[in-house]
């Protein structure tokens, strides 16, 4: 599996260098397209990266921002990735960016698939992708044991897939592996020894058990302890 591994002496150094790399990729994409798309993870890792990105000078009005996956909870819920994005990335100069939602106020993700997919399809393929990973080797909401994992990893998956998994406290929606893989620039950010070890373990496992393996080719992995 060919991926690049970048190790940083501190988390602060990673945040700075990764933010610079993302801005460079966004600029490069903007130089050849009138509008581009930028997908980012939720969870606890990306907050400080968002804080840094939203201080960056870029033609944000030409960038459509979206999540790699969302937890099916109202946006007031502390677990909402949409809330994280609204509070930490879509602020300051980034307020003018386009926003492509992966959540709508319907009881289940299945109810919202059609309206959400419509807007999502219009911004594909992804230009720049940042992913996170769990210590269980999931990425986006491609979880080991997920009820739709095989479907979401397969070539016939639609861009957006609903997912329920034993280790996910709520239903999810996730971009499918083929959408993630079609991104022009792909980055993965992980912190800590446990996740580094998990990524090493993943190398000998099929994507069904280690979903990160489905999206790792061509990705730059950014790691700090």
> Given the rule CB under 6 A, which residues bind ligand 6PG?
41-45, 68-69, 71, 81, 132-134, 138-140
CB of 136 to ligand 6PG, least distance (A): 8
The CA radius of gyration of the chain, in Å to the nearest whole number, is: 16
Phi, psi dihedral angles at 83 (to 5 degrees)? -65, -40
Closest to ligand 6PG by CB, 98 vs 132, is 132
Residue 81 beta carbon to ligand 6PG: minimum distance, rounded to whole angstroms: 5
How far, CA to CA in Å, does 176 sit from each of 3, 50, 74, 99, 159?
20, 23, 22, 19, 5
DSSP 212: G
Q: 44 or 77, CB closer to ligand 6PG? A: 44
CA distance 102 to 165: 18
CB of 121 to ligand 6PG, least distance (A): 21
* Residue number, 30 or 189, with CB nearest to ligand 6PG: 189
In the bound state with ligand 6PG, the residue whose beta carbon lies nearer, of 30 and 68, is 68
Place of tokens 């406290």: 169
| DSSP of 58-119 | S-GGGEEEEESEEESS-TTSTT-HHHHHHHHTSSGGGGGSEEE-S--S-SSHHHHHHHHHHH
Minimum CB distance to ligand 6PG, residue 79 (Å) = 8
**Residues with Cβ within 8 Å of residue 93, at least 6 apart in sequence:** 54, 55, 56, 57, 58, 60
User: What is the closest distance, in whole angstroms, from the C-beta atom of residue 213 to ligand 6PG in the complex?
Assistant: 15
Shortest reach from residue 34's CB to ligand 6PG, in Å: 28
Q: Which residue is nearest to ligand 6PG (CB)?
A: 132
Closer residue to ligand 6PG, CB minimum distance, 98 or 134: 134
């Amino acid at each position: 599996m060919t991926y690049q591994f970048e190790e940083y002496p501190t988390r602060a150094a990673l945040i700075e260098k990764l933010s610079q790399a993302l801005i460079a990729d966004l600029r490069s994409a903007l130089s050849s397209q009138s509008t581009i798309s930028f997908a980012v993870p939720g969870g606890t890792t990306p907050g400080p990266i968002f804080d840094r990105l939203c201080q960056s000078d870029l033609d944000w009005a030409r960038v459509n921002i979206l999540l790699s996956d969302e937890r099916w909870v109202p946006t007031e819920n502390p677990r909402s990735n949409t809330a994280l994005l609204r509070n930490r990335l879509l602020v300051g100069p980034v307020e003018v960016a386009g926003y492509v939602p992966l959540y709508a106020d319907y009881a289940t993700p299945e109810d919202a698939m059609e309206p959400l997919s419509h807007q999502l399809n219009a911004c594909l393929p992804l230009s720049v992708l940042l992913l996170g990973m769990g210590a269980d080797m999931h990425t986006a909401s491609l979880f080991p044991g997920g009820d739709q994992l095989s479907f979401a990893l397969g070539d016939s998956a639609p861009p957006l897939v609903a997912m329920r998994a034993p280790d996910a406290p709520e239903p999810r929606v996730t971009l499918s592996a083929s959408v993630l893989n079609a991104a022009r620039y792909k980055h993965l950010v992980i912190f800590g020894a446990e996740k580094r070890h998990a990524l090493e373990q993943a190398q000998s496992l099929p994507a069904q058990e280690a979903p990160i393996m489905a999206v790792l080719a061509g990705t730059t992995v950014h790691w700090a302890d």
